[in-house]
Chains A and B, each alone.
Chain A
């Protein structure tokens, strides 16, 4: 929709009056000149000879008509590229899908939402906003309030990494007895209930839907095929060709997350699916923890892999190498069948196997090993290897583990074994007893047909009970395991082929192997035995696709996990249980993105912002300007515009011309190259001359101190206009907050966020520590800071802990006074799991340098020097004051050192020296 629309078009009829007005203005003489005139008596008795009065000059008339026309049009509320905002007084319900699919263009949605709320505010429509990814509170009636209330919340609104539960919203909204109009921010994906909800809403009032014009892009979980990792990229509907690239991310050998591989693919026009192929060696592939689409930010474009692409190296060691038996009789046939699809199977001799360092070794009926081999394998197990052994005639014959517990056997064995249900034995073949709760196999269903004919038998032993994992119905241990070092040794008391039991023929066998993490299937749909286990979330993906380690969430029932119904209780991420990792992604393996299908007649609007512009203020301003011009013209015509007034006119004209004054200083090319080639401290210009001057003088003082005391040699500090200037050339910005601060524009906010992300630091100074302690909303500056900070990507904060690098990056400091002392200084909170290294007073904090330092001590005033190098402001009284200033300067030096060297001082290397200094 384009063109111009009017909010109150009826007013335009007033334009018809303009010709009448023209005639009237022409007919009515202009306002008389009033003057005193002593010679009036001579005039008395004189008659006007001409009856036509003096005319207002046509151009003045035109000016007035134009002014009036502008006013009429202005008040009629012209809207350029109008959206469908018909002035309605009905209650308004705003529904935000707020799912992961909305996250990529969340900013746009927020802007649109602001727009919608503003216009609702103009119309005074009671409004209620629902985030549909939250559950409806079915007992609470919608609380319609002034849209202003929601305007404040727009910036704090975040999407959730799951889809809304439409069904519950339908029942909630249809239960409301009031009528309302609806503005629905759809995420653009189809859901069966969507049209139902639309119908429900339409029965209540007008529904307009906002939807992005671009398709939603998302990634299916990767899978491994032909040794390559593949992942399908989808878009909800096909438009033009689109190149997408994806990065596979995982820890490098040092544990630092890195891009391990990348792949690019192009959507041809009209295609909704494309296959990404990651060509990377399996060692790298095994480390991949997530795959991320570049340039997108939504949970749909990030998949965590769990164990999906980690193909374990499983070594099958079988004693009966060159046996020429039929496959079905082979010791390893069933194992091979079970493992090959999900694991990398190595079948070679033990020595070579150990060199390959497999994750799992399966000894299939291996008897006695040599001393060296035993030692090597034991060592391997202790290092975290999983040794699974299957019994068999050889093991039974080898006589190991009879007298004492063998390191590579979980239990002692009795000589010989037992056969049940055979031709020469008593009883029927034994079945398995249900798995006891708390053991590895708990929850697996035991097929009826599984029977055991022969087994090796464990020697009763005090340790036996807790090592038993599975038993037969008569209580004989069938599977036993023990921990050894970091690894485990598991023994199946039966063979791996169908000789002693038909267990290997059953599905249970595969599941048991999975449970033992021998074979892995990270995709939930491939994991068949979720039930009965508690899965603990390890990593979570938020709606924007950021993966966070979580440690504080409680575990999830396997059945819940199996439902794969993402919700607040089951956010996407990685869930783990006993070494197995299940990846729960937004899209499952075969999910397909479908474009939202709206019923015919639905009003679907674009999210684009530029669409609607209210022209009213422009017209009114034009009318006012013309009227002002008219005043001066009339004055001039009546000869009242003497030279004295001419001065005032000039002043007004000047004032109108110079509303956009100075370009910024920082950014001419020469200056820029100078800034880039040197270290320079920057301060944010607040618009308050006094504050800016102080900030400049303060940074000048700090620069001088740095020059004097350290090897940092900054040049003269520079004031930065965050709207226009390039920020990336500054390592550090000082931002004194004053209540004159204008809120930064969106682009400035983006720029600041980029600055913060790319390692810049901003020191926010509310300068009012004497008024309040700490940063609070209690002071005007504090409130201003909150207003600004709300829009920046500022991490959780904490007061500077005693062991922070800031306290020892150059000087050893415990407090950070400026002109005021005593208020706490806030920095990015250390992660909760930062641990103290034994024996040192410092925690091993993460790598990041805090992007913000926030305080109110008015540091610039304490640092400030004039051009003669004298301090501009007093600090404290007497010697204590001098000391406070010294500490303020030391804080400045420490801060800049921290900015420039990061956590270098946090490096453990320095600890002995520091301890020495600290006298500990």
Chain B
């Protein structure tokens, strides 16, 4: 018997524990975040399949006889049909950017963008799961599922980052019409790729929500003097002799990027928010929760 299997087993377990740790922490953080938001069953404010009474309406020819509410009809000459509120579950697809560009923070006191994104994603997942909706990750093969068990699964997946990918683009996944997709990323990668991926989702007629997470440094560009900037994996390098002179231009570019995202959302009826890691995570969470709930 060689020792290799043992060592391998050990390593696997070690990794798993490591993984679990990250995922526990994520989950705990997400739970903590959601605790502040009260939630309940949310009717669709439309008639449809459901338990709750919605309205009586005049029966039309196409209505089946068994649908007629005879007790109501008896009170008048017409036939009425009792409609229930539509209470279907929504499916929400989450895409949380875990690429290298997200593994950045400018100060020790700030969370990494990826962490903020994961916490945000998980938190909204928890809220949705508690509301009975189906949630899932676009980069997982499984379709969205109900229940907190699914959230845990997501947490495990979110604890796993991809530091090898310099910039990751939103994963493409077949989605059904009317499903919702939440994209949490810094959207600092190649615009064309981002645009294509998002367009792909938009073309499937899903409702999209874009959460852009930025670090304060990315927002401010505080560099001065001779500066060499690297991408996270040092795949890209940019050198300037007077960084301060580029600040305005950079901020302009960033504003352009933001405007492009905004424009994309407007075109497709999606919604977009920009969030800085320096701000509390509850702000985008509440925004997202309300947006997903349909209240604006």
Contact = CB atoms under 8 A, between A and B. Distances in A.
A50 B242 contact: yes
Contacts of A44: 236, 238
A27 to B, nearest CB: 12
Contact of B228 (A33, A48, A49, A53): A33
Contact of A43 (B217, B224, B238, B245): B238
A48 B253 CA distance: 15
A36 B223 contact: no
A661 interface: no
B250 A46 contact: yes
Q: Interface size for chain A: under 10, 10 to 19, 20 to 34, or 35 or more residues?
A: 20 to 34
Q: Which of B215, B224, B234, B241 has the most CB of A within 10 A?
A: B241
Interface in A12-41: 29-41
A37 B246 contact: no
Contacts of B190: 41
Q: Interface size for chain B: under 10, 10 to 19, 20 to 34, or 35 or more residues?
A: 35 or more
A423 interface: no
Contact of B245 (A34, A35, A36, A48): A48
A31 to B, nearest CB: 7
A51 B246 CA distance: 12
B274 interface: no
A53 B240 CA distance: 9
A803 interface: no
A352 B236 CA distance: 128
A40 B246 contact: no
A29 B239 CA distance: 12
A39 B188 contact: yes
Contacts of B113: 38
B257 A42 contact: yes
Q: Which of A29, A39, A42 has the most CB of B within 10 A?
A: A39
B218 A39 contact: yes
Interface in B212-257: 215, 217-218, 221, 223-232, 234, 236-243, 245-246, 249-250, 253-254, 257
Q: Which of A37, A51, A53 has the most CB of B within 10 A?
A: A37
A882 interface: no
Contact of A29 (B186, B226, B230, B238): B226
A642 to B, nearest CB: 10
A907 interface: no
Contacts of B178: none
Nearest to B167: A41
B101 interface: yes
A30 B254 contact: no
A48 B238 CA distance: 11
Interface in A439-497: none
Given A37-B218, A41-B167, A30 B225 contact: yes
Given A43-B250, A53-B242, A38 B227 contact: no
Given A46-B246, A48-B240, A54-B241, A40 B230 contact: yes
A37 B231 contact: yes
Contacts of B227: 32-35
Nearest to B218: A39
B269 interface: no
A34 B238 contact: no
Given A40-B236, A42-B257, A54-B242, A32 B228 contact: yes
A38 B242 contact: no
Interface in A46-67: 46, 48-54
Nearest to B99: A38
Given A46-B250, A53-B242, A41 B189 contact: yes
B54 interface: no
B56 interface: no
A49 B186 contact: no
A40 B241 contact: no
Closest 4 CB pairs of A and B: A54-B225, A38-B101, A53-B241, A37-B229
Interface of B: 100-102, 104, 113, 167, 186, 188-190, 215, 217-218, 221, 223-232, 234, 236-243, 245-246, 249-250, 253-254, 257
16 contacts: A29-B225, A32-B227, A33-B225, A34-B230, A36-B104, A36-B229, A37-B229, A37-B238, A38-B102, A39-B186, A39-B250, A40-B237, A43-B238, A46-B253, A51-B241, A52-B242
